[in-house]
Amino acid sequence: MFNRERTRRHMTDGAFASPFPVEDPVALAALEVAQSGLAAAVRALADATVRTRVAAPDLAAVAEQVETLTARLLAEAQEGPLGLETDSAGRLRDHGNAMVGMRNPIAPPLVVTGDESGSTSCALTLGAGYEGPPGYVHGGIVAAVLDQVLGSVPAHLGLPGMTAYLNTTYRRPTPLGAPLHCRGWVERVDGWKVHARGEIRDAQDLVTAEAEALFVVPRWAREHLDRPTGDAAGTAPGGEAAQEPSAS
Ligand SMILES: CCCCCCCCCCCC(=O)SCCNC(=O)CCNC(=O)[C@H](O)C(C)(C)COP(=O)(O)OP(=O)(O)OC[C@H]1O[C@@H](n2cnc3c(N)ncnc32)[C@H](O)[C@@H]1OP(=O)(O)O
């Protein structure tokens, strides 16, 4: 299922091919449109909730309506988190993911692209709901964005790993409501371990935060992946030299 070559071929959108067949892809695609539409609407609601200045009676009335809608959704809901699901395109998807999940209104949602060299990229703008210091992005959210974009690096190499550490350096405040760009790249592959680096830049192309991270394919997942060979250790995939970051 997680053959590395096969994984690489199917990783252009960051998802793994699913081993589970989709019974009715057309119906599932329609459901996905509705799910993502709901998430977008609730995301807008959350943003409006932070920024609204309407009077208290209006707030109370809206809260009542929202509670009614919540009950309607819970009329049929699963108990716990979504985990991985097969989408209409036959890919494994983490629709509940806090950063990229299309069903998750808490997710910005990030759209992370990448290639087989392990370079990843994401354009984003974070609104009022992600505030930390006044007018700027919360430091934990900055780290979460870096975790996601750098975490896509090993995934694009066919070595999906969990974050062992993420060391984040905050160079300057990251502005809210303005275009940002985050990218990641591979520094070194060492067996089941991928060392990655990345950064966030603001609209003036200044680095606001950077990170270096280690992602490890968990022991429980290794049997599903090709075992790294000696050739893979210590080099970027394909035997290329580790990629250099551009000057900041
Ligand atoms: C189907 C696929 C889906 C894969 C899942 C894909 C999910 C994507 C998630 C997105 C990113 C996240 O947010 S992940 C969420 C945040 N992270 C977590 O919750 C991870 C919690 N930690 C863990 O589960 C574990 O500690 C792991 C997986 C990181 C490692 O445990 P393990 O699998 O038992 O491996 P272990 O033998 O301990 O370590 C393997 C090698 O890595 C090194 N190592 C381990 N941790 C560290 C560390 N902090 N700093 C330095 N080195 C470390 C060890 O020394 C060893 O080196 P050597 O002796 O071999 O040289």
pLDDT on residue 109: 95
Quick: pLDDT tens for 88-109. 999 889 999 999 999 999 999 9
pTM exceeding 0.90: no
Complex-level ipTM: 0.92
108 near 99, Cβ under 8 Å? yes
pLDDT on residue 47: 98
Ligand 1 pocket, residue 40 CB under 6 Å: no
Mean pLDDT of the chain: 87
Counting ligand 1 atoms within 8 A of each CB, the residue from 3, 162, 189, 227 with the most, and so the one to mutate, is: 162
- State the first-to-last Cα distance of the chain, in angstroms, to the nearest integer: 39
Quick: pLDDT tens for 116-150. 999 999 999 999 999 999 999 999 999 999 999 99
pLDDT band of residue 27 (cuts 50, 70, 90) is: very high
Please report the domains of the chain, with CATH numbers, ordered by start residue: 1-109 (no CATH), 112-248 (3.10.129.10)
The contacts of residue 67 (CB under 8 Å, 6+ apart) are none
Ligand 1 pocket, residue 42 CB under 6 Å: no
Share of the chain above pLDDT 90, in %: 77
pLDDT on residue 248: 34
152 near 112, Cβ under 8 Å? yes
Helix ranges, 20-138 (H): 25-51, 56-74
Quick: pLDDT tens for 52-99. 999 999 999 999 999 999 999 999 999 999 999 999 999 889 999 999
**pLDDT at residue 242 tops 90:** no
**78-109 in b/e burial notation, b at 16+ Cβ within 10 A?**
eeeeeebbbbbbbbbbbbbbbbbbbbbbbbbb
State in Å: Cα 115 to ligand 1 middle. Answer: 23
Ligand 1 pocket, residue 53 CB under 6 Å: no
**pLDDT at residue 162 tops 90:** yes
State in Å: Cα 155 to ligand 1 middle. Answer: 14
